[in-house]
Amino acid sequence: MISQPSRQSRRDLVVVVSPFEEPRPRMIAAAERAGALGLLDLGRDHDRARTAMAALRGRYGVRVPAGCPLTPGELPAAVDTVLLTEAWWRTGTADWAAGGRRVWAEVVSPAEATAAVAAGATGIVAKGHEAGGRVGDLTTFVLLQRLLADPGLTVPVFAAGGIGPHTAAAAVAGGAAGVVLDTQLALTAEG
């Protein structure tokens, strides 16, 4: 008998990150209303990030890109998940995990996944070379397969890059905890 996913894992099946490293609260609010996990990209402008966080109600997550000026102490209690880029998780995750937050790490290789978990990450976002921004040499599905085959990697792994309706289903069927969407949603009304 197949067990039903928990409420939290259903929310994690689709993760929406505001695209282009810009805080877009309308997109995150829409994602959360739809039952997905919304991650507000904090970007590099302190005031825009704080204004965007203030506009959100209910729980949501944030993505902390390289160069983000916010500190862990500036995150409101509503933030339950923090996605750190490599520039941040390399310095450790403990401060970002304050208040019981989940801390995930973006990685582009199996070696980075191992290092991120050693640094305290409780989830991995596998960014294949189809994704935007900093990427590695492997496609999303090859990277995902390598991470899922690693017996030492026991945290949830999410697929990012080249995700569409059919590839999302394939990623989850293949063992991914969920999929990450960002630029795919740029042309939505909320984007």
> Domains of the chain: which residue ranges?
7-185
Mean of per-residue pLDDT scores for the chain: 91
Tens digits of residue pLDDT in 28-76: 999 999 999 999 999 999 999 999 999 999 999 999 999 999 999 999 9
pLDDT band at 163 (very low <50, low <70, confident <90, very high): very high
Residue pair 128/135 in contact by the 8 Å Cβ criterion: yes
Q: What is the pTM of this model?
A: 0.92
pLDDT of residue 187: 67
Q: Which residue from 58, 57, 97 is spatially nearest to 81, judged by alpha carbons?
A: 97
Instruction: Output the CATH code of domain 7-185.
Output: 3.20.20.70
Tens digits of residue pLDDT in 97-150: 999 999 999 999 999 999 999 999 999 999 999 988 888 999 999 999 999 999
pLDDT band at 2 (very low <50, low <70, confident <90, very high): very low
Residues in CB range of 128: below 8 A, 6 or more apart: 135, 136, 138, 139, 140, 141, 142, 143, 144, 159, 160, 161, 162
